Amino acid sequence: MGTYISDRIRILVVRRAEHHCEYCQLHEEDSFLGFQVDHIISIKHGGKTDENNLAWSCFACNNNKGSDVGTVLLPDTRFVRLFNPRQDKWEEHFELIECVFYAKSDVGEATIKVLKLNDVERIMERQALL
Ligand SMILES: [Zn+2]
């Protein structure tokens, strides 16, 4: 087990995501950087290398997410978990208007923040793809 991801699981994850990042929705053909299999709940926090805990992710989302599973939305110090592509519906947490992400929930807001979905370079990348 551990972090080893078999070809079978990798193919399942990619097909299930239809080659899109399950966080920011970028298509892998539109990215110069390779996409990665993301552990939704990181191994550090007990997440398993199991198809129900895996998501297809662009480099930026995966890199910014790291081993995080949530954050606080200051000044509130309550823990807010990140979006879970296996359990949550994307449209219930995010809205993409003119290449900018808007949160429809605390989960969406936490994810936009931690994954830096509205970094200027990322907004510009989305605009360039239009
Ligand atoms: Zn992404």
What confidence tens digit (pLDDT) does each residue in 43-88 have? 999 999 999 999 999 999 999 999 999 999 999 999 999 999 999 9
User: Ligand 1 mean position to 62 CA, how many Å?
Assistant: 7
Higher per-residue confidence, 33 vs 117: 117
What average pLDDT does the structure give for the chain? Answer: 96
Spacing, Cα 129 to ligand 1 middle (Å): 14
**DSSP structural state of residue 27:** B
Centre of ligand 1 from the C-alpha of residue 84, in Å: 13
- Examine the pLDDT at 19 and tell me if it is beyond 90: yes
Q: Cα angle vertex 71, ends 37, 3, to 5°?
A: 25
- Choose among 13, 16, 87, 19: nearest CA to 49: 13
List, as ranges, residues with CB under 5 A of the ion ligand 1: 21, 23-24, 58, 61
Nearest to 130 by CA among 90, 98, 91, 101: 98
Q: Model-level pTM?
A: 0.95
Q: How far is the CA of 117 from the centre of ligand 1 (A)?
A: 8
Could you tell me the sign of the dihedral formed by the alpha carbons of 108, 110, 114, 116, in that order? positive
